Amino acid sequence: MDLGKVNLDAPHSMGTTIIGVTYNGGVVLGADSRTSTGVYVANRASDKITQLTDNVFVCRSGSAADSQIVSDYVRYFLHQHTIQLGQPATVKVAANLVRLLAYNNKNMLQTGMIVGGWDKYEGGKIYGVPLGGTIIEQPFSIGGSGSSYLYGFFDQAWKEGMTKDEAEQLVVKAVSLAIARDGASGGVVRTVIINSEGVTRNFYPGDKLPLWHEELEPHNSLLDILNSTSPEPMNI
Amino acid sequence: MEMLMDSSQAEHSFLSSVTASERTLNPYVTGTSVVAIKYKDGILMAADMGGSYGYTLRYKSVERLKPVGKHSLLGASGEISDFQEILRYLDELILYDNMWDDGNSLGPKEVHSYLTRVMYNRRNKFNPLWNSLILGGVKNGQKYLGMVSMIGVNFEDNHVATGFGNHLARPILRDEWHDNLSFEDGVKLLEKCMRVLLYRDTTAVNKLQIAKITEEGVTISQPYSLKTFWGYSAFQNPTVHAEGSWLDMVTGWAVTTME
């Protein structure tokens, strides 16, 4: 019924919020779970943090197809590399393989990725690989359309030498803030913590995230509110 | 020497920087779906309170359901500034109606007809009001529920929706709506639709209002949020059997040997 003109020449915004943060002993990767095709939410519970090796994961944003095929190829190459090397691949190697594919196919690919992991030489490391195939090692990295809302937040909230729990809480808070304002991000918050001890995956469902400005406590139905004996406090 | 010129030519004839005409080409701050149904005592209408700015969920307390006169309720999606302009037009319409002071008042059918004319005439001038409107009401026991689009397409039905609501809510309503729904059942049905829209529309915001209009008048609920459900096991581990596609078995082997 609604006629809207879609600007076909506008760059396809990466409908996602992805984050990678280093802490004292490892890394925490985080992402939302919304895959959207235009205005429609195709998948409300997707997993954007993909495993490359036992100790290296990648956060994917942008074209779902492009990011999936790149991670599939990198996983394949890393597997062969691991056999030939005789020990686990380093995060740097994994990131550079991602870069190689992203750079050499820059005309065709539209995906920004954050590679994060832990190895025995360098410890926890985060590498951003944005559109075009630049590789940039960072103490923390943010990506996807939702990240626009987080630059100010991280400028203020990120600190060197956080603990594992502080880092994870920061990531969950940040993704949750982005979800509140970015239409292309939503659903649940997934985190992956990687350190010398191994990998821990966590899941924070949409209804367990904190409420931000102008957001209200959820109810099952208006009928519950109308039938409650005590008057609802004013939500300002 | 051409002495008679129409206004659009006149604007270009001198060193003028005035554009010939103003046309809405794209909306800026927009509201998403509105869903409405007829029920036993009148009309129930629901809309969220989001004002999106493209992909950004910029404003979260926008009231998109408004009473019109004594007998009607208007819900709008699309450009919020155009909706505010329409409310001004309707204010004037109701004012003039009251000034007759003749005991008569405009019913929902008349207001719907007025809006249809406004939308269609703007469309003909290539300067549409970028909205989809739902007009519901009750007068003298007669329930009325109609819709007008930005190009002037208009119709009445037992259940209507705008935008994404047409694709996601109306199929639910076609299945589950029936004549003489109670207030409780009507609210639950609308909430079912609004929850689906919350899951599947990127421009939806979890803060909504439900309005009812009966012979007695209009009531618009306070803003509230709906609970959402994410506790499916498939949501927790979606890629447990999918990671690596053709490498599934090999990756499994590699994991155990590297331990």
Mean pLDDT, rounded, for A100-129 = 95
State residue B240's pLDDT score.
72
Say if residue A54's pLDDT is above 90: yes
* Amino acid, res. A190: R
Q: What is the pLDDT of residues B217-247, one digit of tens each?
A: 999 999 999 999 999 988 988 777 666 443 3
List CB contacts (< 8 A) between A235 and chain B. 222-223
- CA B237 to the chain's CA centroid: 36
Report the pLDDT averaged over residues A223-230: 84
Catalytic residues of A: 16
Q: Taking 50 as the threshold, does the pLDDT of residue A224 lie above it?
A: yes
pLDDT recorded at residue A12: 44
Contacts of B166 in chain A (CB under 8 A): 1
For chain B, what is the domain count?
1
Asked if the structure places residue B125 within a domain, the reply is yes
Mean pLDDT, residues A96-121: 95
Q: What is the pLDDT of residue B250?
A: 40
User: Looking at the domain assignment, is residue B79 inside a domain?
Assistant: yes
β-bridge pairing A18-23 and B29-31: unpaired
pLDDT-based confidence at B23, cuts 50/70/90? confident
Cα angle vertex A145, ends A140, A146, to 5°?
Answer: 65
B203 closest CB neighbour out of A39, A45, A214: A39
The one-letter code for the residue type at B82 is D
**Nearest chain B CA: its distance from A229 CA (Å):** 16
- Interatomic CA distance for residues B49 and A39, integer angstroms: 17
- Give pLDDT, residue B243: 61
- Please report whether residue B74 resides in a domain: yes
In a domain, B14, yes or no: no
Q: Does A222 contact B61 at a Cβ distance shorter than 8 Å?
A: no
Contact A126, A27 (CB under 8 A): yes
Give tens-digit pLDDT for A11-25.
444 589 999 999 999
- pLDDT at residue B1 tops 50: no
Instruction: List chain B residues with CB under 8 Å of A186.
Output: 202
Percent of chain A with pLDDT over 90: 83
A220 and B166 within 8 Å at the Cβ level: the answer is no
Of B153, B226, B250, the CB nearest to A218: B226
| Chain A residue nearest residue B244, CA to CA | A72
Integer-rounded Cα radius of gyration of chain B: 24
Q: For residue A35, which residues of chain B lie inside 8 Å, CB to CB?
A: none
> How high is the pLDDT of residue B225?
97
User: Residue A20 in contact with residue A29, Cβ under 8 Å?
Assistant: yes
Q: What residues of chain A lie within 8 A of the CB of B236, using their CB?
A: 203
| Residues found in chain B | 259
Closest-CA distance of chain A to residue B11, Å: 28
Between A2, A7, A34, which is nearest B78 by CB?
A2
Reported as a single tens digit per residue, the pLDDT across B35-68 is 999 999 999 999 999 999 899 999 999 999 999 9
Residue B13 counted as domain residue: no
pTM of the model: 0.82
What residue of A is the nearest CA neighbor of B221?
A: A222
What tens digit of pLDDT does each residue of B116-126 get? 999 999 999 99
Q: Supply the range of the domain harboring residue B80.
A: 29-228
Q: Which pLDDT belongs to residue B257?
A: 35
Select the residue of A47, A51, A205 nearest B231 (Cβ to Cβ).
A205
- Active-site residue list of B: 24
Tell me what ipTM this predicted complex has.
0.78
The CATH number for B193's domain is: 3.60.20.10
Measured CA to CA, the distance from residue B118 to residue B19 in angstroms comes to: 24
For residue B255, is it within any domain? no
Token pair listed for B191 = 């909430």
What confidence tens digit (pLDDT) does each residue in B70-102 have? 999 999 999 999 999 999 999 999 999 999 999
Partner-chain contact A46 B238, CB within 8 Å = yes
- Alpha-carbon distance A160 to nearest alpha carbon in chain B (angstroms): 30
How many contacts, defined by CB atoms under 8 Å, are there between A and B? 146
Q: Please check the confidence at residue A96 and state whether its pLDDT lies above 60.
A: yes
Residue A2, min C-alpha distance to chain B (Å): 6
Q: Is it the case that residue A1 has pLDDT exceeding 80?
A: no
**Contact across the interface for A219 and B224, Cβ inside 8 Å:** yes
The runs of H, that is alpha helices, within B51-107 are: 80-99
To the nearest 10°, report the CA torsion of B114, B116, B119, B125: -90
Lowest mean pLDDT among A103-107, B196-200, B206-210, B211-215: A103-107
Nearest CA in chain B to A39: B202
Q: Do A206 and B164 touch (CB under 8 A)?
A: no
Asked if residue B133 belongs to a domain, the reply is: yes
